[in-house]
Structure 1
Amino acid sequence: MSPLGRGTPREAGILAEIRSLAQPLAGPQGLDRLVERCAGARFVCVGEASHGTHEYYRWRALLSRRLIEEHGFTWIGVEGDWPDCWRLNRWVRGEADQDLDARGVLEGFERWPTWMWANEEVAEFLDWLREENVRRAGHEQVGFYGLDVYSLWDSLREIIGWLEAAAPEALPAALQAWQCFVPFHEDPHRYAWRTRIVPESCEADVVALLAEVRRRTMDRMAGDPAAFDAALNAMVAVDAERYYRTMVRGDRQSWNVRDEHMADTAGLISRHHGPGAKGLVWEHNSHVGDARATDMFDAGLVNVGQLLRERHAAPEVVLVGLASWAGTVVAAESWGAVEEVLAVPEARPGSHEDFLHRALEEDAVLVFGRDRSGPWLSGRFGHRAIGVVYHPWREAGNYVPTRMGERYDALLWFGTTAALRPLHHEAPPEEPELETEPTGF
């Protein structure tokens, strides 16, 4: 990733290619070309280069609003827990918690880092989405769902609640799975370490529970949202158990367990919304941008963007990355710590962000055409990825070798960015949090 010599013909070609693709992003109308590119897709994945940047959340929301209003997109899947987001889904549909505003509902997000979703930018979008849904018939309303895999105990509780109401004769399978996990006091760290020491796990119990719930919900999911919720919670329980058991062994394949779960969940949501349903996926660039265009591929890792491209025809999937040159970000200095506003230094020379900054004088949208053989789109340069734990003084480790034209179909570019606006401060955990790698490595 050494910088190219300034003024070399190749560098001049890179800057010229960037300028030829860029269009100003001065207002929502600047998204016109990107909206047109996304209009016919079934899955539009919109990333972010950090989980703490105002512009990423604001412009992702603006793009999503236009696709919902103008092109019939009816669901959003985010990098969040299924039970928490199901509550949001019911709220935006007018089915629950109507005495609260979006900020009140988001207060229910307790898993660190809460700022990922409990922030002003998301609250403003959800307020708009609820008002939009008021004007729509039930089958046309836009859903809001969590794609992630961390909510093992919360999902088990939701399954037990549904079985008590809908199929009490099936409760024994759920209670057997619950009893298996009881000794670990809802601490995935304890459970995972126990499976490393003793070759026994709760895998068989949660797999049996999944089979039982699927049998009970198979013919009911289409017309019964509660049954759909139960079925997805059962899938979360199985994959969460496998995720934590794999992760504690130091096996990076836990990344694949997680991203395969998120891609599977996106597919189930799409089918739940009916033939031809179109949805949006909101996740970090590390999940959205095709892993085959990065060094993740060399390590045997996959991600959501890659899996969706492999499972669907090319026109059905659009991957949109986001990037910036410098500014501020909300992040923490260690796992589970209180969030801070940290400075994001100017991009490293020779990185994608450096070339974009030198080529463009303003924020821009770049939509890639069929020919991606130019020196910038086909070149392999560092692309910055900021996680929820961030050390600005260790910038070199935040760059992922990337062929931009293979990783995304479009890019939103911002010169200088500002920190996200959390709704509240993190409360330090009583015990050390289990690090679960929500973005990058």
Structure 2
Amino acid sequence: MIGQAAEPLPAPEEPGFGAFFDRFAGARVVLLGECSHGTAEFYRARAAITRRLIEAHGFTIVAVEADWPDAAAIDRQLRGRPPEPDGEAPFRRFPTWMWRNTDVAAFLGWLRGWNTGREPGAQAGFYGLDLYNLSASVEAVLRYLDRVDPEAAAVARERYGCLMPWMDEPQDYGRMALSRGYAPCEEGAVETLRDLLEKRRDYAGAGGESYLDAAASARLVKNAEEYYRLMYYGGARSWNLRDTHMFETLCALLEAKGPQSRAVVWAHNSHIGDASRTDMGRERGELNIGQLCRERFGQDAALIGFGTHTGTVACATDWDEPMQVKRVNPSRPDSYEWLAHESGLGRFLLDLREGRLPPALREALMEERLERFIGVIYRPETERWSHYSACTLPEQFDAYVWFDETTAVTPLPGPEEAGPEETFPTGL
């Protein structure tokens, strides 16, 4: 039945691909997923859709599942802003291939060309939503305050001093706070963010983009301090804090860019599909940015998932281990991926919104089935338990993009630094 209702898609590189997604161009936020962090076709498809939304429909925010400081360094290049002095090179920490790959590089090259010659308000920015890279965020706040308010910088430097011993291994701070039974650095992080937000008008003359960067960095420090404490408690609390942070950062971007601003989000299916329609929410009490966007924006949020049957994927077996290219197991017969594979179509778009599917197909898809989630870690030998979760696809997403066989991303050369086990063990 999927084969009759789905719309066959051309390859993402072909000119007509992006136009299939014009139906979602009226949304305030279009969230584009992926069922792995290492699949080239997903990056190419998201790039083609995003180009279309920018060129034809005026979207100006590209917000991705990446750390704010790293994306901010790239954004300066894309929009002709000078680099920060002594800023660290972006995307050098595990898993580097997630954003340092040839498909992302090609999209960013296009985005830089698009921005060239345009007024700042008409340019499209590239922003990170995630809450890691604590050290670079602290540095960004202090660097900004040193320029605009040296007295406030001295206060912030003293407050952040509590976190300084833990910059290289922030998860050790969480372990220490757990063993002591209190959060010694929480107050300073909260107060620094509060002061920045309260002085927004005072700092307006120093430049809106610089303030946005500093405020986002201070928000990251405040939430990361809490995240590294919560990650040792298990359960849903650390996941929910992380996705709430991503949602708050997205909302701050939309507010800063004005009421007519619109955003494209790139993140994993586990983040952009409505968690309340999966066992993430139903069994584990987890929420995500897709669910929060639906609750805030209603039909002005479009949630688009991506899937594949088999192929290759760039991944690691464990955290901080070298990247490998692994073969993706064929999908299970009790999964949504299997139903998509049985359609016989190599690529398709399935519009899942109410009234867009034949009633019999919608009824069949409403039956809960398994769905595969591959993060930066992939363990084919334990796939059923480590990578599948029960979902209700037509309620989880507004649309589903299918590539029957996919290939691994090609990483860019460069050193990789060890990173804290921030999303261990799934790497989502």
The verdict on a shared fold, with TM-score over 0.5 as the criterion, is: yes
CA distance in 1, matches of 2:223, 2:95: 21
The 1:41–1:437 alpha-carbon spacing in structure 2 relative to 1, beyond 3 Å, is farther
Three-state SS of the structure 2 residue aligned to 1:333 is coil
1:386 alignment partner, one of 374, 385, 388 = 374
2:21 alignment partner, one of 31, 34, 37 = 34
**8 Å CA contact 1:107, 1:118 repeated in 2:** no
2:134 alignment partner, one of 152, 164, 187 = 152
Three-state SS of the structure 2 residue aligned to 1:313 is helix
- The residue aligned with 1:87 is 73
- The residue aligned with 1:407 is 396
Amino acid across the alignment from 1:216 = K
**8 Å CA contact 1:319, 1:410 repeated in 2:** yes
* CA displacement at 1:272 relative to structure 2: 1.1
**8 Å CA contact 1:33, 1:367 repeated in 2:** no
TM normalised by structure 2 equals: 0.92
Greater displacement, 125-134 / 181-190: 181-190
1:122 alignment partner, one of 82, 89, 104 = 104
- The residue aligned with 2:191 is 208
Three-state SS of the structure 1 residue aligned to 2:66 is coil
* CA displacement at 1:440 relative to structure 2: 6.5
For the pair 1:317 / 2:304, whether they are aligned, the reply is: no
Deviations 1:46-105 (A, max 9, x none): 00000000000011100100110000000111011111111111111011359xxxxxx9
CA distance in 2, matches of 1:54, 1:419: 5
The 1:292–1:185 alpha-carbon spacing in structure 2 relative to 1, beyond 3 Å, is closer
* CA displacement at 1:190 relative to structure 2: 1.4
For the pair 1:341 / 2:325, whether they are aligned, the reply is: yes
Q: What's the Cα RMSD here?
A: 2.1
**8 Å CA contact 2:92, 2:417 repeated in 1:** no
For the pair 1:363 / 2:347, whether they are aligned, the reply is: yes
**8 Å CA contact 1:338, 1:426 repeated in 2:** no
**8 Å CA contact 2:39, 2:314 repeated in 1:** yes
**8 Å CA contact 1:48, 1:283 repeated in 2:** yes
Deviations 1:354-409 (A, max 9, x none): 11111133211112232366234312111111011111122212112111110111
Amino acid across the alignment from 1:25 = P
- Where do 5+ consecutive residues of structure 1 fail to align? 1-15, 99-104
CA distance in 1, matches of 2:108, 2:214: 24
- The residue aligned with 1:421 is 410
Greater displacement, 19-28 / 323-332: 19-28
- Give percent identity, aligned residues only: 38
Three-state SS of the structure 2 residue aligned to 1:268 is helix
User: What pairs with 1:30-429 in structure 2 (closer than 5 Å)?
Assistant: 30-35=17-22, 37-96=23-82, 108-200=90-182, 201-218=184-201, 220=203, 223-298=207-282, 299-314=284-299, 316-371=300-355, 374-397=362-385, 398-424=387-413, 427=416, 429=418
CA distance in 2, matches of 1:106, 1:420: 24
Greater displacement, 168-177 / 114-123: 168-177
CA distance in 2, matches of 1:291, 1:28: 33
CA distance in 2, matches of 1:92, 1:427: 23
CA distance in 1, matches of 2:313, 2:414: 15
The 1:300–1:115 alpha-carbon spacing in structure 2 relative to 1, beyond 3 Å, is same
Greater displacement, 20-29 / 214-223: 214-223
* CA displacement at 1:136 relative to structure 2: 2.0
The 1:141–1:425 alpha-carbon spacing in structure 2 relative to 1, beyond 3 Å, is closer
Length, aligned pairs only: 416
- Where do 5+ consecutive residues of structure 2 fail to align? none
CA distance in 2, matches of 1:162, 1:272: 18
Deviations 1:316-341 (A, max 9, x none): 10011000000000000111111000
